[in-house]
Structures are given as structure tokens and as C-alpha cells.
């Protein structure tokens, strides 16, 4: 296996960044995770547009041109023989003596890319059986619309979910409304059959899968409302599902130990998932 680190393809086991990389010391960086299906990168343009936005929001320079980045990603996928899987890319503010303020102008940003194949059987099992989730109070900063590598609250929430026998933790705001999962967006199908997901204001990450799935829903002539919903509404929903580049559309069959609908994955999530790859680019 290979990784790409600051201009070089290196063996994955030897891939390393400097101890004074600002990503390591301050989580001063941003990232993207993209799905690879049948050799094609899913929604690449949208992911790179969001990377561009994240970089601008925290004022980090692109480490290379977009075209060069795309070639590197393709080469890394080729070297790792990833036909179905994902790649992770991270850009940080570079290496400099530890100091909270930005390093001197001209300090190059750091870039790291890894890629790996995923096991379709694990994904198929989650789709077939659904997953369990827990709710946790929102305790993150108010700029979670930026895809920063500072994910400690998400890490702790996911670990808590695991320790409670669940696979995702869902952040809930002070009003009792659902925000998003530790690494996913959350959707429900309400009693009228309408798809609902929270508006992508500054309170959540604007998921690329979320955006594409809205187009999928439109094609399938399903009603979608971007409107907040409460935990009680989620528990009473016909269906609950979560979306992310890594999971596309996983049904949630239990939240906080309470069964959703009849406890089996719903048909809407399945329809959306099946139509997804026809719409995603």
C-alpha cells in the first residue's frame, strides 16, 4: 500500500509528517473523504468545491492546483488498486515552530492522501440489517460547517456509541432538535412520507451525499423538506437513515434503545440508495 505525503508516493507503513505539523499540534487543517465506486470517484467536483470552501474559511492555501490534486488521487488509487473503496485527503497549515498565530507567509501547506478498498459485505450487512444510534448533546464549536480535522467531540461521541452497542452518535441541540451524526447527516421520513433533514446552516456540515441525495429524491418525485426535527419526531418517524460518502444511506432501526417503526430498514432508504449511483457523478 502507498500513501501520498507532500509531493511523494511513499509506502503506507513509512508515511509520516513532521512532529511540528500544525495538523498534529493544533488540528489546524481540513479534510475530505470520497467514495470510489467501480473505479470512479463519486461526486469529486462537489468534494473539491467543499475543500476549496473549507480552505478559504480558515485561510489555508491550496497545496497544489486542483488538476494536479486530481492526478495525484487517481495515481494513488491506481497504485493501491482501489476499485471500490475510499480516499482520505487532508491539508494542514504546514510545518512551523509551535505558535498559535499563523506561520510566516510562504510556509507551504501540508498534504496527505491515503486510499483503501472497502469490504462490500460489511456495507451490505449494514444496509440489510440497519444500524443503531444514540443521541448525545451537541458540544462542538459553531463552525462545524467547515470540515476541519478537529474532531475530538465526534471521536468521543462515536466511542460512546460503540460502548453502548450502537454504530452512530447523533448530536442534539439545546432545543431538542437533531443536528447530525458524528460523521453523517441524519434524515427521517415523517408520517406524511416526506423526507426531512436539517437545513445546512452553520449548525451542521453540508454533506455532499446529502446534496446529491436531494437530487435523487427529486428524480424519484419524493417530497423533501429542509426543516429541523426533534428527537421525538425522529423516534416516531416511519424511517430514519444517515448519509455520508462512506456509507451513502444506512438505515437506522434503533435510537437510544427505542425501535424505529417496525425495527426493519425502510423502503425509502433502499430506493434512494439504489438510485444514488445513477445520479452521483
Q: Catalytic residue numbers?
A: 147
User: Which segments of 162-249 are extended strands (E)?
Assistant: 168-172, 178-181, 185-189, 195-197, 224-226, 239-243
Burial status of residue 165 (CB atoms within 10 A of its CB: 0-12, 13-18, 19 or more): exposed
Nearest distance, CB of residue 105 and ligand PDD, angstroms:
30
Judged by CB under 6 A, the stretch of 113-121, 124-132, 202-210, 251-259 that binds ligand PDD is 202-210
H or E stretch at 44: helix 44-57
Contacts of 196 (CB under 8 A, 6+ apart): 187, 188, 189, 190, 224, 225, 226, 227, 229
Residue 157 touching ligand PDD (CB under 6 A)? no
Nearest distance, CB of residue 176 and ligand PDD, angstroms:
19
Q: Which of 22, 132, 210, 273 binds ligand PDD (CB under 6 A)?
A: 210
Q: Which of 134, 244, 260, 280 binds ligand PDD (CB under 6 A)?
A: 244
Judged by CB under 6 A, the stretch of 98-106, 179-187, 195-203, 224-232 that binds ligand PDD is 179-187
Q: Which of 33, 146, 149, 236 binds ligand PDD (CB under 6 A)?
A: 33
Residue 183 touching ligand PDD (CB under 6 A)? yes
Q: Which of 21, 138, 168, 180 binds ligand PDD (CB under 6 A)?
A: 180
Helix-, strand-, coil-residue percentages of the chain, each rounded to 5: 30, 30, 40
Nearer to ligand PDD, 72 or 242 (CB): 242
Q: Tell me how far apart the 2 most distant CA atoms of the chain are, in Å.
A: 58
Nearer to ligand PDD, 95 or 214 (CB): 214
Residue 245 touching ligand PDD (CB under 6 A)? yes
Contacts of 213 (CB under 8 A, 6+ apart): 187, 243, 249, 272, 276
Nearer to ligand PDD, 95 or 148 (CB): 148
Q: Which of 63, 85, 203, 207 binds ligand PDD (CB under 6 A)?
A: 207
Contacts of 56 (CB under 8 A, 6+ apart): none
* Count of residues interacting with ligand PDD (CB under 6 A): 14
User: Which segments of the chain are extended strands (E)?
Assistant: 2-5, 8-11, 29-37, 40-41, 85-92, 110-117, 131-137, 168-172, 178-181, 185-189, 195-197, 224-226, 239-243, 250-255, 258-259
Nearest distance, CB of residue 262 and ligand PDD, angstroms:
27
Judged by CB under 6 A, the stretch of 1-9, 64-72, 129-137, 176-184 that binds ligand PDD is 176-184
Q: Which of 84, 118, 246, 270 binds ligand PDD (CB under 6 A)?
A: 246
Cβ pair 249, 241 in contact under 8 A: yes
The binding site for ligand PDD (CB under 6 A) comprises 33, 180, 183-185, 205, 207-210, 243-246
Amino acid at each position: 500500500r502507498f500513501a501520498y505525503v507532500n509531493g511523494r508516493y511513499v509506502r503506507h507503513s513509512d508515511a509520516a509528517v513532521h512532529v511540528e505539523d500544525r495538523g498534529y499540534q493544533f488540528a489546524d487543517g481540513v479534510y475530505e473523504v470520497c467514495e470510489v465506486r467501480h473505479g470512479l470517484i463519486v461526486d469529486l467536483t462537489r468534494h473539491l468545491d467543499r475543500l476549496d470552501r473549507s480552505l478559504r474559511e480558515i485561510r489555508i492555501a491550496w497545496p497544489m492546483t486542483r488538476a494536479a490534486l486530481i492526478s495525484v488521487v487517481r495515481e494513488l488509487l491506481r497504485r493501491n488498486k482501489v476499485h471500490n473503496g475510499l480516499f482520505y485527503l487532508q491539508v494542514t497549515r504546514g510545518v512551523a515552530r509551535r505558535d498559535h498565530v499563523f506561520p510566516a507567509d510562504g510556509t507551504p501547506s501540508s498534504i496527505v492522501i491515503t486510499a483503501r478498498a472497502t469490504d462490500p459485505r460489511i456495507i451490505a450487512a449494514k444496509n440489510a440489517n440497519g444500524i443503531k444510534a444514540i443521541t448525545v448533546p451537541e458540544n462542538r464549536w459553531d463552525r462545524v460547517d467547515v470540515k476541519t480535522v478537529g474532531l475530538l467531540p465526534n471521536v468521543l461521541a462515536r466511542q460512546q456509541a460503540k460502548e453502548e452497542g450502537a454504530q452512530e452518535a447523533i448530536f442534539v441541540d439545546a432545543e431538542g432538535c437533531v443536528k447530525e451524526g458524528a460523521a453523517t447527516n441524519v434524515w427521517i421520513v415523517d408520517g406524511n412520507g416526506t423526507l426531512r433533514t436539517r437545513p445546512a446552516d452553520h449548525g451542521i456540515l453540508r454533506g455532499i451525499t446529502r446534496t446529491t441525495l436531494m437530487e435523487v429524491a427529486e428524480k424519484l418525485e419524493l417530497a423533501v423538506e429542509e426543516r429541523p426535527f426533534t428527537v421525538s419526531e425522529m423516534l416516531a418517524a416511519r424511517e430514519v437513515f444517515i448519509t455520508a460518502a462512506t456509507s451513502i444511506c444506512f438505515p437506522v432501526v434503533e435510537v437510544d434503545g427505542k425501535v424505529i417503526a417496525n425495527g426493519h430498514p425502510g423502503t425509502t432508504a433502499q430506493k434512494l440508495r439504489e438510485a444514488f449511483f445513477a445520479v452521483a457523478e
